[in-house]
Chain A
Amino acid sequence: DAGITQSPRHKVTETGTPVTLRCHQTENHRYMYWYRQDPGHGLRLIHYSYGVKDTDKGEVSDGYSVSRSKTEDFLLTLESATSSQTSVYFCAISGRTSGEGTDTQYFGPGTRLTVL
């Protein structure tokens, strides 16, 4: 158990509404990531963070923003949700100082988002 949670676990919203997903970790990992997973596309990186207030874009960042104001929380915001953002969103963490290696990413349980 890598001590990572996501909230909410399920959400249904309407097109045009803002949505914020939260990722919370308890083990002081440096790196945090947001992915989306869609049939036929696998996992794709949206944004990631390498420290408090330090973030960068991934492969599919358009329409998403992130914030990390403290080590344990990484927020993903859809400013105006669209139906193409219906997906399963996974948060991941890495940067442990021991174990399988600092590069190994551990995933949260996921958030299933439906935009109607």
Chain B
Amino acid sequence: GQNIDQPTEMTATEGAIVQINCTYQTSGFNGLFWYQQHAGEAPTFLSYNVLDGLEEKGRFSSFLSRSKGYSYLLLKELQMKDSASYLCAVNAGNMLTFGGGTRLMVKP
């Protein structure tokens, strides 16, 4: 079976750093995706981790530990526009299984 867990909601302050965690137990693993989804819009691709370690893309970084079944998305220098849902998804053979998403609210 597939089980992917992430917090339902988080709140952070503009300019701060926030870490969104994702834990998974899946049959099959080819990599882990993070997507951003603003309310009423489609998910957009943020990052893809295949190997253990940290991948950095500007203000966003994503970390993966395959042995622990754990990933996190790190958002630095938060901006109001970062208020959105962040979706963790495990890739197993061209199929993605998504967690429920974490709704991040950025406050002034």
Chain A positions within 8 Å of B, measured between CB atoms, are 31, 33, 40-45, 48, 50, 58-59, 90, 94-95, 100-101, 103-110
Contacts and interface: CB of A to CB of B under 8 A. Distances in A.
A107 B100 contact: no
B interface, size bucket:
20 to 34
A94 B94 contact: yes
A100 B50 CA distance: 12
B99 A104 contact: no
Interface of B: 30-31, 33, 35, 41-45, 48, 87, 89, 91, 94-101
A107 B43 CA distance: 6
A42 B101 contact: yes
B94 A43 contact: no
B48 A107 contact: no
A100 B30 contact: no
Given A48-B95, A58-B95, A103 B45 contact: no
B95 A45 contact: yes
A42 B48 contact: no
Contacts of B89: 43
B96 A105 contact: yes
A58 B93 CA distance: 13
B33 A104 contact: yes
A95 B89 CA distance: 17
A36 to B, nearest CB: 11
Given A40-B100, A43-B87, A103 B42 contact: no
Contacts of B30: 103
4 smallest CB-CB distances across A and B, nearest first, come from: A107-B42, A42-B100, A43-B98, A42-B98
